[in-house]
Structure 1
Amino acid sequence: MTTVPSASQWGSPTTSRRALLIHGLNSSSHTFHRVASTLAAKGYLVVAPNLLGHALRKPGVDFQVQTLADDLLPYLQAAEYDIVIGHSMGGLVVLSLLKYLPKTKPTSVVLIDTALEITAEQMVDWRVKFSGDVRTNPTAEDYMALNPLWTRGDAIWKVLGTQIGRSTNSDDHIDGNVPWSFSHLFADKPAAAALTVLIEDPRFNGALKPETVAKLKDVRAVIVPNASHWIQYEFPEVIVEEALRNIEE
Structure 2
Amino acid sequence: MKHLASLLLLTLLAFGSRAQGVMTFEKDAHDFGKVPEGTMATHEFKFKNTGNQPIMIANVQASCGCTTPDWTKTPVLPGKSGIIKAMYSSAGRPGIFSKTVTVTSNASTPSAVLTIKGDVVSKSEAKEALTPAQLAQSPRLMLDRTTHDFGKMESGQQVVAKFTVKNTGKQPLELGMITSACNCVGYKSVPPTIQPGKSAVIELLYAQRQTGQMADVATLTSNDLNGDVKITLKANIVRDLNGGSMVKESGAVVPFK
> Which TM-score tier does this pair reach, normalised by the shorter chain?
under 0.3
Q: TM-score, normalised by structure 1?
A: 0.23
Q: TM-score, normalised by structure 2?
A: 0.22
Would you tell me which structure has more helix in proportion to its own residues? Answer: 1
Would you tell me which structure has more strand in proportion to its own residues? Answer: 2
Higher relative contact order (CA 8 A, sep 6+): 1
User: Which of these two proteins has the greater Rg computed from alpha carbons?
Assistant: 2
